[in-house]
Each structure stands twice: as structure tokens, then as C-alpha cells.
Structure 1
Amino acid sequence: MAVQQEHRVVETPTEARQGEPGPSVLALLAVSTGLAVLILGVVWFVFFRT
């Protein structure tokens, strides 16, 4: 558990590494995947359309 020493928060290395990925991580993944699909679709349409 984090303790306060001399106006500083002291945590163990395990506690310090534990991040909390929020909804922004999911939004970033969804947007980047959507953009990749869109870009690949445009490239296919321009170069490989028969």
C-alpha cells in the first residue's frame, strides 16, 4: 500500500507499474483499426481494381 513519507508518496515497484487503462485505450484501438481498414480499402480500390 502506498505510504506518504516527507510529503512524497512511496510505492513498491509493483504498485508503481500498475496502470489503469481506461476507455481511451479502447477508443484508440478502435479508431486506429478503422483507419487501417479504410486506408487499405482505398489502396485496394486504386491499385487492384479490375
Structure 2
Amino acid sequence: DLLAFVRTIKLHQIEGASGYQHLKADLDERAALRSGGHVKQVLVRTMLLE
């Protein structure tokens, strides 16, 4: 579900620090919902954009 969500994001949506923060918040929220609250935070180690 997270990868499918990330694939729908356009570059202009995540440009800059605030764009990344919004993406991170969305990923954290989706992970928490899908895991029934077991996941608190998603760790993004690398991000490659084409």
C-alpha cells in the first residue's frame, strides 16, 4: 500500500522540506492505519526520483 501511494506522488508535491514533511506524515498515517496502530513511524533511508 505504501509503495502504491508513493508511485502516485508527483515531484512538485514533495519539493522542499515542507513537501517531504507532508509525505512523511502521510506515510506514517497510512502505516499506522494499515497496521492497526502497531507502526508509529516510517523510516525513509533513501529516496530516488526519476
TM tier, smaller: 0.3 to 0.5
Per chain length, whose mean CA-contact separation is higher, i.e. which structure has more relative contact order (CA < 8 Å, sep 6+)? Answer: 2
**Structure 1 length as normaliser, TM-score?**
0.41
Q: Name the one with the larger strand percent.
A: 1
